[in-house]
């Protein structure tokens, strides 16, 4: 942990006093140099994509937000600009801090409605956005069955209730301890990580296994069904009789943070917060995320 200068907003940017941030896999792999060939980090590096907080300063030309607005959202570190949406990149100085500066012109930031708490909003930013993008791509139909691999994680605990609300019978991977939570979230059945997958599901969602290890999941899908995956490397297609799609929505084309807030307020997207930390405990939150089994999201409150 180190003190760095409070970042100030330039044209088109806003400064936010962070109230809560949540940990994503990208936050912890980035400092390990995974994207070094495309984006070299400089240190000190402030991690953190997801946040909720209060707008404290407005840069020139910003009309979307005003000082005092309560907002939340997702923005990647500026160094990842080459990997962000090319038209309206959602970038920041890093949300695991007391203050961060964000680009204002993006659907990935939105007003936080009073009915959505700061920890819940921070927990739902990337996970809610990604879960909604998965549903928009999969277009599940009432009466279908779906296998969700990685259902216990941030994205998984968001996608299971959305599938249930669409009338889908969900079979979710879970540890024994997490099985009751997954059933509360809407899973009809839970299976262990290494159990045999069911046969003939209409759709399978891969939220855990590397994209080049999808053979077992692909074989759970019926002919003509679909396989949705969100992990790198990009999926290798094992079967040409199913529709395999890699889902990523960097610019909110499938719905941005406003839609996440609406779904949360309607009770469709509950936030699952496994553990909470203070900012001083931020490094521990990152270490726990890497080393331990975590359920739902880890949230750091500032």
Range 75-111 burial, b when 16+ CB lie within 10 A, else e: bbbebbeebbbeebbbbbbbbbbebbbbbbbbbbbbb
Q: Should residue 150 be labelled a site residue for ligand NAP when binding is judged by CB under 6 A?
A: yes
What tokens were used for 163? 């599938």
Of residues 110-139, those binding ligand NAP (CB under 6 A):
126-127, 130
Rounded Cα gap, residues 58 and 9, in angstroms:
7
Cβ burial of 114 (10 Å; 0-12, 13-18, 19+) is: exposed
110 and 72 Cβ atoms separated by less than 8 Å: yes
**Which of 248, 253, 287, 290 is the binder for ligand NAP (CB under 6 A)?**
248
Q: Should residue 149 be labelled a site residue for ligand NAP when binding is judged by CB under 6 A?
A: yes
- Nearest CA to 157 out of 183, 119, 195, 191 is that of 183
Q: How far is the CB of 19 from ligand NAP (least distance, A)?
A: 21
Task: Give, as one character, the DSSP assignment of residue 236.
Answer: P
Q: Should residue 198 be labelled a site residue for ligand NAP when binding is judged by CB under 6 A?
A: no
Angle at 281 between CA 296 and CA 3, to 5 degrees: 125
**Minimal CB distance to ligand NAP: which residue?**
153
Q: Hunting for tokens 């490094």 — which residue is that?
A: 283
- Nearest CA to 202 out of 222, 228, 186 is that of 222
Q: How far is the CB of 152 from ligand NAP (least distance, A)?
A: 4
Residue 8 vs 139, nearer CB to ligand NAP: 139
Q: Should residue 22 be labelled a site residue for ligand NAP when binding is judged by CB under 6 A?
A: no
**Which of 89, 153, 256, 270 is the binder for ligand NAP (CB under 6 A)?**
153
Of residues 26-55, those binding ligand NAP (CB under 6 A):
26
Q: Should residue 293 be labelled a site residue for ligand NAP when binding is judged by CB under 6 A?
A: yes
**Which of 230, 257, 286, 300 is the binder for ligand NAP (CB under 6 A)?**
230
Q: Should residue 154 be labelled a site residue for ligand NAP when binding is judged by CB under 6 A?
A: yes
Residue 8 vs 245, nearer CB to ligand NAP: 245
Of residues 84-113, those binding ligand NAP (CB under 6 A):
none
Angle at 237 between CA 136 and CA 290, to 5 degrees: 70
Instruction: Give the number of residues in contact with ligand NAP, rule: CB under 6 A.
Output: 24
**Which of 12, 25, 198, 211 is the binder for ligand NAP (CB under 6 A)?**
25
Given the rule CB under 6 A, which of 56-64, 116-124, 153-161, 220-228 is the region that contacts ligand NAP? 153-161
130 and 185 Cβ atoms separated by less than 8 Å: no
* Residues binding ligand NAP (CB under 6 A): 24-26, 126-127, 130, 149-150, 152-156, 173, 193, 207-209, 230-231, 247-248, 293-294
């Amino acid at each position: 942990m180190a003190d760095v200068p409070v970042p100030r907003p330039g044209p088109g940017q806003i400064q936010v006093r962070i109230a809560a941030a949540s940990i994503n896999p990208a936050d912890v792999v980035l400092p390990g140099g995974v994207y070094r060939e495309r984006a070299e980090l400089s240190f000190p590096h402030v991690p953190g994509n997801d946040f909720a907080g209060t707008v404290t300063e407005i840069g020139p030309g910003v009309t979307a937000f005003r000082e005092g607005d309560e907002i939340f959202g997702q923005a990647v570190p500026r160094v990842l600009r080459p990997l962000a949406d090319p038209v309206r990149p959602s970038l920041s100085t890093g949300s695991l801090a007391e203050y961060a500066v964000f680009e204002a012109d993006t659907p990935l930031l939105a007003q936080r409605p009073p009915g959505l708490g700061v920890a819940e909003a921070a927990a739902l930013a990337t996970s809610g956005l990604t879960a909604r993008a998965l549903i928009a791509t999969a277009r599940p139909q009432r009466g279908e069955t779906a296998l969700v691999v990685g259902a216990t994680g941030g994205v998984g605990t968001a996608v299971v209730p959305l599938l249930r609300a669409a009338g889908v019978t969900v079979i979710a991977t879970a540890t024994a301890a997490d099985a009751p939570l997954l059933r509360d979230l809407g899973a009809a059945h839970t299976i262990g990580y290494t159990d045999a997958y069911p046969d003939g599901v209409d759709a399978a969602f891969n939220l855990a296994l590397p994209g080049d290890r999808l053979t077992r999941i692909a074989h759970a899908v019926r002919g003509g069904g679909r396989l949705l995956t969100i992990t790198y490397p990009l999926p290798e297609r094992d079967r040409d009789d199913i529709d395999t799609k890699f889902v990523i929505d960097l610019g909110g084309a499938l719905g941005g943070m406003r839609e996440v807030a609406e779904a949360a307020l309607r009770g469709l997207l509950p936030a699952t917060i496994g553990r909470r930390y203070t900012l001083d405990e931020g490094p521990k939150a990152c270490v726990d995320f890497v080393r331990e089994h975590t359920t739902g999201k880890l949230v750091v409150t500032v």
